[in-house]
Chain A
Amino acid sequence: MSTLIFFEHTNDAISPASLHAVTAATQIGGDVVALVAGSGCDGAAQAAAKVAGVTKVIKVDSAEYGHTLAENLAPLIAKLAEGHSHVLATATTVGKNIMPRVAALLDVAQVSDIIEVVDADTFVRPIYAGNALATVKSSDATKVVTVRGTNFDPAAAEGGSASVEDGSGEGDTGLSSFVGQELSKSDRPELTSAKVVISGGRGMQNGENFKMLEEIADKLGAAVGASRAAVDAGFVPNDYQVGQTGKVVAPDLYIAVGISGAIQHLAGMKDSKVIVAINKDEEAPIFQVADYGLVADLFKAVPELSEALDKA
């Protein structure tokens, strides 16, 4: 048994997201081979070699992998998949974009967003916005799987000493090209790995009011998230969205402010250890999952909370 993991990286360093896939691969068992494909990616390849559990790194340093274009990466991954029983990636937007293309090239099913490895062929994955958990068994020759990060602790970034092998690229398909990006900048922790998350919903009324949540976030070392309604209304950027079709988070503490608790939102946060809800409607469904519910006007409660945290 042997697993090939598509590693995400910034050429100089590896992305922490991929460390979750390493843990899933370790649970599957056998060799764990990290693929680092990029342009000028030696730093990332060396970093991948240090990850505990990784047995080998394949470095493919070639211009066509300078951006994570699925059309270029999928044929490479499909070619390297030969001889491996599993191909894994973490279910980030990059993984979700590329891996089904790999699966189709290999003519196998993909198992998306697994939350548990039962055995080498059998996995548990949420369906219907997490309202049901399906255990599925694959009999395909190669199992193509994406891993939900929150359900697998990250592997240690240090402690391994894998060898780094050079691989060659497959060339540019010329089908697509990168034009530009507009990334949200923040000094706060990344949403999916933060220990504390405070999210705002439609109840926040506008983007300006999110400053109140940012203030609390800074006091708690938290990341700021949002409901779909808050993103759709333009209060905050799309990458803040927590939920079935946004990001999945499972922090130690999740604070939902002015969020009603639609199933699509709950799908992205109900595995948090402790949930706090602040909502003026005592019937709001969010209270059914909240460990501590505060029925209050957020415009009164949030400033009070901020003040209380200074004293706490």
Chain B
Amino acid sequence: MKVLVPVKRVIDYNVKVRVKADQSGVELANVKMSMNPFDEIAVEEAIRLKEAGKATEVIAVSIGPTQAQETIRTALAMGADRGIHVVHDGDVEPLAVAKMLKGIVEKESPDLCILGKQAIDDDCNQTGQMLSALLGWSQATFASKIEIGDGDLTVTREVDGGLETIKVKAPAIVTTDLRLNEPRYASLPNIMKAKKKPIEQMSPADLGVDPAPRLQTVKVVEPPKREGGTKVADVAELVSKLKNEAKVI
């Protein structure tokens, strides 16, 4: 079984994001970038499938600028076998990403694609579902457990009410939720080894996809600031304030 794992390069989750003064977006210059955390979980799951003898090859794909290579290298250092880098500068929306991934799926014929449920920059939560639609495949989103069966997968999903289990036909698209696994850190020897693993480069045009955004960003602003910071001395003062000042109890 071949597994494809799309990985996105995003602002590190620890960075305090700042909006640009001209309201065109957020400040990305000199900001720490990392692999989208949900994609680390996806890579980890794919590698575990390989270690369990269920997957034969794990391919990491990233669509992004030159530096997205680093993100692919991270996946390779974790244990992916090879990479595909679709070189593209500038924002790319989930629909275009899904179309490019579809092109790669058609070339590579994987049996399973594991994506993150959500990129923590655009917070879209769309790409996996869109890819699944374009391919006419089954989808199991927000996965917290994956069991590989014979021609199908049984997936437990994190839903608003708790957990749901579904069975999906292979080939399938799975998107990861936080509790699926705990991603490993790459060891130094594996980081060195990853430098020799192949990364194939291509362009959106090679895949026949126009990456131009469909949505126009009119402006990006900071959210209204909250005036917090007031402290109370003890529980009695807290209860009194909630009752008499805030009037919420």
Is B235 in the interface zone, CB < 8 Å from A?
A: yes
* B residues in contact with A179, CB < 8 Å: 154, 165-167
Is B123 in the interface zone, CB < 8 Å from A?
A: yes
Is A202 in the interface zone, CB < 8 Å from B?
A: no
Is B72 in the interface zone, CB < 8 Å from A?
A: no
* A residues in contact with B242, CB < 8 Å: 253, 274, 276, 292
Instruction: Determine the interface band of chain B, counting residues with CB < 8 A from chain A.
Output: 35 or more
- Using a Cβ–Cβ cut-off of 8 Å, how many residues does chain A contribute to the interface with B? 90
Cβ-closest chain A residue relative to B246: A274
A107-135 CB contact bits vs B (8 Å, 1 = yes)?
11111110000000010011111111111
Expressed in whole angstroms, the minimum distance between the Cβ of B31 and any Cβ of chain A is 11
CB-defined A-B contacts under 8 Å, sample of 30: A94-B160, A98-B129, A100-B130, A101-B129, A103-B95, A108-B95, A109-B93, A109-B213, A112-B124, A113-B125, A127-B123, A128-B17, A132-B221, A137-B215, A137-B218, A176-B166, A181-B162, A181-B163, A182-B162, A237-B163, A238-B158, A238-B162, A252-B248, A253-B242, A276-B238, A289-B226, A292-B230, A294-B232, A309-B239, A312-B239
Known contacts A101-B129, A312-B243; is-contact A138 B215 (Cβ 8 Å): yes
Please state if B228 and A275 are interface contacts (CB–CB under 8 Å): yes
Top-3 shortest CB links A-B: A100-B129, A104-B133, A104-B130
Cβ-closest chain B residue relative to A238: B158
B72-83 CB contact bits vs A (8 Å, 1 = yes)?
000000000000
A207-245 CB contact bits vs B (8 Å, 1 = yes)?
000000000000010000000100110000111000011
Please state if B166 and A177 are interface contacts (CB–CB under 8 Å): yes
Q: Which of B122-140 contact A (CB under 8 A)?
A: 122-134, 137-140
* B residues in contact with A122, CB < 8 Å: 218
A contact face: mostly helix, strand, loop, or mixed: mixed
Please state if A239 and B158 are interface contacts (CB–CB under 8 Å): yes
Please state if B98 and A104 are interface contacts (CB–CB under 8 Å): yes
B134, B138, B242, most chain A CB atoms within 10 A? B242
Residues of A within 8 A of B (CB): 69-71, 74, 92-94, 96-105, 107-113, 122, 125-140, 174-184, 192, 196, 220, 228, 231-232, 237-239, 244-245, 247, 252-253, 263-264, 270, 273-276, 282, 287-296, 301, 304-305, 308-309, 312
